[in-house]
A and B are shown apart, each in its own frame.
Chain A
């Protein structure tokens, strides 16, 4: 009888490939959510109009914002989903420990974020094509420069990835204690309510500003990465003593 030696890296790699296949449903739900987002986008995000006696102009604005927002929500939910007991147990059927399990989950979520982010931005093209085919009226679209496009991809991927990190953290808390099922939404709503009355905004509003109102991409990149690392590492530390199966 010889004992097999394993390296952490090797196991993480195996777990990652296993998860890409096993967590297929996550991508299925993404396709569905984004299609739903496109459908809702047809309402337009804004509208303005004007006219004279003989002429009236209505301008509708369309964008993929709703798709991006839907994708972020999908990211949060998917990340919560893979921390649930059923998924965790699937994980522990084969060789793993909590560290490799968390690492491969993070790699999987990063992959999902990249795919989700890119498809979310690309959905503008789907919308343009659909506009062209189905649109009843004159249709204009502004061409996007390549650097802007890349920033768009980058920022969306980062937002989605941040979503997975938040979801993963919430999911881990819930796994530790079911109290968090009530506590997390409670704190979330509480933060919104507490900040609502004050002029300069509460913690929640500051947080939103901190994340969503950054004009420099480099700074934004650093902010998100730090937040993501903080969230994932605290999830990993919290779940390191968790009992499974």
Chain B
């Protein structure tokens, strides 16, 4: 069963298109990483899936239903972001108690254990928490709700390294205990790539890449060598990134579709191959220019 079906989804704010004919499907019980630059449309997409906003055109189906203003979708989806707001009249413990009455699959024991582990105080107010503590608390709500579709939008904002690690581990453990569909949007792909099964890369509101994370690591390869040699070798291939090293050497990232024979020949010509981390691939793929920030500083 497909949890999310998205066809030609477009969302327009004034004159800018936040989402531009986006189409993809997400299957049941998978952890998908939603990756993209700032302003690529990640949050907009998640809010449309959560039923908070409407797409301008195109079609979205969550659990085969239109999500906007849909109680069934709302009951099975939880969307956690760093701009969450809880009623100021409630203490932290009361918020958990209220959430428990709403969500059918809510695991109150887990919520309480996480609550104690991260040393929250039950009488504290949500507004009095620091940024990282807020994110941690949101995460507890998101995990304990055990919604069939759980969406975390930049869940680690403000968390320190230790808490981030704890969060990833908690997420994975609870996912194994209670499999569900999870979408994780984050800027720290290198931190979450071990959790992910699939990756959905957005660029300018469009789906740029939607492949298993294992394939992403093999998707591109780096070549380094003398500029002339590299240029000759990359020839007609799809170049993702170029960088000059010194004045006569060059580093290029290209699609990894070399045959073993070609690689052998290239090595003989003095080129070295290196794997490119998935996080770097994503950065290169989503940058507007081939050379990245370096292009800004090159004056012709």
Chain A residues near B (Cβ < 8 Å)? 1-6, 8, 11, 14, 17-18, 21-25, 86, 89-90, 92-100, 240-241, 243-245
Contact = CB atoms under 8 A, between A and B. Distances in A.
Interface of B: 28-29, 47, 50-54, 63, 69-72, 74-76, 79, 83-90, 94, 98-99, 101-105, 148, 179-181
25 contacts: A1-B148, A1-B179, A2-B148, A3-B72, A4-B75, A4-B103, A4-B104, A4-B148, A5-B75, A11-B75, A18-B98, A22-B90, A86-B85, A90-B86, A90-B87, A92-B52, A93-B86, A94-B103, A95-B74, A95-B75, A97-B51, A100-B71, A244-B53, A245-B50, A245-B79
Contacts of A14: 101-102
Nearest to A91: B87
Nearest to B72: A6
Contacts of B54: 241, 243
Nearest to B43: A245
Given A18-B101, A21-B94, A95-B103, A8 B71 contact: yes
Nearest to A25: B89
B29 A93 contact: no
Given A6-B75, A86-B85, A240-B69, A94 B148 contact: no
Chain A CB count within 10 A is highest, among B72, B84, B85, B148, for B85
A6 B180 CA distance: 19
Contacts of B72: 3, 5-6
Contacts of B86: 90, 93
Which of B54, B86, B88, B89 has the most chain A CB atoms closer than 10 A to its own CB?
A: B89
Given A3-B76, A3-B148, A6-B75, A24 B51 contact: no
B29 A1 contact: yes
Candidate in A1, A25, A92, A97 with the most chain B CB atoms within 10 angstroms: A1
B89 A97 contact: no
Nearest to B102: A94
Given A5-B75, A21-B89, 12 more contacts: A3-B63, A6-B71, A11-B102, A14-B102, A90-B85, A94-B98, A94-B99, A95-B75, A96-B74, A97-B74, A100-B71, A244-B53
B84 A96 contact: no
A97 B75 CA distance: 10
Contacts of B74: 95-97
| Chain B contact residues: helix, strand, loop or mixed | loop
A89 to B, nearest CB: 5
A2 B29 CA distance: 11
Nearest first, the 9 closest Cβ-Cβ pairs linking A and B are A22-B87, A4-B104, A94-B102, A6-B75, A24-B89, A243-B53, A245-B52, A90-B87, A97-B69
Contacts of B101: 14, 17-18
Contacts of B52: 92, 243-245
Contact of B180 (A1, A25, A98): A1
Contact of B84 (A1, A93, A240): A93
B105 A11 contact: no
B71 A22 contact: no
Contacts of A6: 71-72, 75, 104
Contact of B28 (A1, A92, A240): A1
Contacts of A5: 72, 75
A96 B71 contact: yes
A4 B179 CA distance: 15
A22 B103 CA distance: 18
B200 to A, nearest CB: 20
A74 B83 CA distance: 30
Nearest to B83: A245
Contacts of A11: 71, 75, 102
A93 B179 contact: no
